Amino acid sequence: MGFNRLSTAFAAVTTLLAADLIRAAPCSSDPFKVLDAQNWVNPDDMTWADFKTPPGVDWADPSRKGSERNFNIALVTIDYRDKAFVVTGAPNSTIYGNPLLASASGIQRSDVPAFYRDLLNKPGDINRGHTLHEYWMQDSLGRYGVDLTAFGAYAMPASSFEYGIEDRMNGNGEYCPSGYKCDRDIRADALGLWRAEVGNATADSFELVFILSAGQDESSTWQEFGEMRFQSRDDVPDAFGPPPGLNGGNGTLPNWAKTRYVDWSSWAAASNIWPNAGDGSSTQAESSGMGTYAHELSHLLGIGDNYNNPYGNPRAAPMLAPSPCLTVARLTALVIPPVEGGSMGSLHSLRDKAQLGLVSNTSILHLSREGLATSGMVVATVTARAVDPGPSGLMGLRVDMDADRSPACSIETDVLCDGGGYNHYHVEVVDRMGADSFQPDHGVLLSKTTNDGWTQPFMWTIDANPQDIGLVDFVRPNGTKAYITMGDYRQLLDALFHAGTRSGSQFEHIDEANRLHFYVVDIHRDDAGVLSYTVAVRSLDGSGGSSKHGIELAAGSAKGGNPAGSGVTCAFELSNTGTFAGEGDASHPDSAAAYLDSDVFRLSAAVEGEGWRVEVPNALAAVKFGEKMTAKVAVGGSANAAASAVVTLTATSESDATVLATAKCSVSK
Instruction: Compute φ and ψ for 221, nearest 5 degrees.
Output: -125, -20
d(CA 401, CA 554): 40
Taking CB under 6 A as the criterion, the residue among 55, 129, 142, 248 binding ligand NAG is: 248
**How far apart are CB 355 and ligand NAG at their closest, in Å?**
9
CB-wise, 134 or 488, nearer to ligand NAG? 488
Do 128 and 339 contact (CB within 8 A), yes or no? yes
CB-wise, 252 or 658, nearer to ligand NAG? 252
Taking CB under 6 A as the criterion, the residue among 195, 548, 602, 664 binding ligand NAG is: 195
Binding to ligand NAG (CB under 6 A) within 93-122 occurs at 97
Q: What angle (nearest 5°) sits at the alpha carbon of residue 75, between those of residues 123 and 169?
A: 115
d(CA 241, CA 254): 7
Residue 92 sits in the site that holds ligand NAG (CB under 6 A): yes
| Distance, C-alpha 646 to centroid of its chain | 45
Q: At what angle do helices 132-139 and 112-121 cross, to 10 degrees?
A: 30
Stretch that binds ligand NAG, among 78-86, 249-257, 430-438, 447-455 (CB under 6 A): 249-257
CB-wise, 84 or 411, nearer to ligand NAG? 84
CB-wise, 56 or 97, nearer to ligand NAG? 97
The strand pairing partners of 662, in sequence order, are 650
> What are the CA-CA distances from residue 408 to residues 274, 417, 420, 487, 525 (Å)?
35, 9, 7, 19, 40
Residue 590 sits in the site that holds ligand NAG (CB under 6 A): yes
149 closest CA partner among 120, 129, 188: 120
**How far apart are CB 478 and ligand NAG at their closest, in Å?**
4
Stretch that binds ligand NAG, among 28-36, 246-254, 257-265, 459-467 (CB under 6 A): 246-254
**Secondary structure, 3-state, 39-52:** CCCCHHHCCHHHCC
**How far apart are CB 170 and ligand NAG at their closest, in Å?**
14
x/- site string to ligand NAG, residues 40 to 79, per CB under 6 A?
A: ----------------------------------------
383 closest CA partner among 373, 397, 366: 397
**How far apart are CB 71 and ligand NAG at their closest, in Å?**
20
CB-wise, 209 or 320, nearer to ligand NAG? 209
d(CA 560, CA 418): 51
**How far apart are CB 389 and ligand NAG at their closest, in Å?**
15
Secondary structure of residue 585 in the 3-state scheme: coil
Binding to ligand NAG (CB under 6 A) within 470-489 occurs at 476, 478, 480
Task: Indicate left, alpha or beta for 3 from its phi (over 0: left) and psi (-120 to 50: alpha).
Answer: alpha
d(CA 358, CA 56): 18
CB-wise, 31 or 177, nearer to ligand NAG? 177
d(CA 73, CA 633): 57
Stretch that binds ligand NAG, among 56-64, 250-258, 328-336, 516-524 (CB under 6 A): 250-258
Q: What angle (nearest 5°) sits at the alpha carbon of residue 3, between those of residues 237 and 98?
A: 35
Instruction: Compute φ and ψ for 356, nearest 5 degrees.
Output: -90, 0
CB-wise, 171 or 504, nearer to ligand NAG? 171
**How far apart are CB 134 and ligand NAG at their closest, in Å?**
26
> What are the CA-CA distances from residue 349 to residues 87, 232, 242, 250, 357 (Å)?
34, 39, 41, 52, 12
**How far apart are CB 75 and ligand NAG at their closest, in Å?**
19
Do 134 and 290 contact (CB within 8 A), yes or no? no
CB-wise, 382 or 635, nearer to ligand NAG? 382
CB-wise, 151 or 572, nearer to ligand NAG? 151
Taking CB under 6 A as the criterion, the residue among 25, 63, 244, 252 binding ligand NAG is: 252
**How far apart are CB 241 and ligand NAG at their closest, in Å?**
14
Instruction: Compute φ and ψ for 115, nearest 5 degrees.
Output: -60, -50
Binding to ligand NAG (CB under 6 A) within 199-228 occurs at 200
**How far apart are CB 191 and ligand NAG at their closest, in Å?**
8
CB-wise, 56 or 249, nearer to ligand NAG? 249
d(CA 460, CA 530): 26
**How far apart are CB 476 and ligand NAG at their closest, in Å?**
5
CB-wise, 72 or 451, nearer to ligand NAG? 451
Stretch that binds ligand NAG, among 161-169, 244-252, 294-302, 497-505 (CB under 6 A): 244-252
Binding to ligand NAG (CB under 6 A) within 269-328 occurs at none
**How far apart are CB 590 and ligand NAG at their closest, in Å?**
5
CB-wise, 192 or 626, nearer to ligand NAG? 192
**How far apart are CB 280 and ligand NAG at their closest, in Å?**
10
Sign of the Cα pseudo-torsion (92, 94, 99, 104, in order): negative
**How far apart are CB 458 and ligand NAG at their closest, in Å?**
17
**How far apart are CB 427 and ligand NAG at their closest, in Å?**
15
396 closest CA partner among 372, 363, 348: 363
- Return all residues near 650 (Cβ < 8 A) that are at least 6 apart: 603, 604, 605, 606, 660, 661, 662
Report the b/e string of 310-335 with b at 16+ CB within 10 A: bbeeebbbbbbbbbbbbbbbbbbbbb
CB-wise, 32 or 311, nearer to ligand NAG? 311
Q: At what angle do helices 290-300 and 132-139 cross, to 10 degrees?
A: 50
Site size for ligand NAG (CB under 6 A): 16
Residue 172 sits in the site that holds ligand NAG (CB under 6 A): no
**How far apart are CB 135 and ligand NAG at their closest, in Å?**
23
| Distance, C-alpha 21 to centroid of its chain | 19
Do 530 and 542 contact (CB within 8 A), yes or no? no
CB-wise, 216 or 346, nearer to ligand NAG? 216
Stretch that binds ligand NAG, among 140-148, 153-161, 245-253, 270-278 (CB under 6 A): 245-253
Binding to ligand NAG (CB under 6 A) within 635-664 occurs at none
Residue type, 577: T
The strand pairing partners of 397, in sequence order, are 365, 427
CB-wise, 437 or 449, nearer to ligand NAG? 449
CB-wise, 98 or 653, nearer to ligand NAG? 98
Binding to ligand NAG (CB under 6 A) within 356-375 occurs at 361, 366
Taking CB under 6 A as the criterion, the residue among 466, 504, 589, 611 binding ligand NAG is: 589
Binding to ligand NAG (CB under 6 A) within 124-153 occurs at none
Do 104 and 115 contact (CB within 8 A), yes or no? yes
Residues near ligand NAG (CB under 6 A): 92, 97, 178, 195, 200, 248, 250, 252-253, 361, 366, 476, 478, 480, 589-590
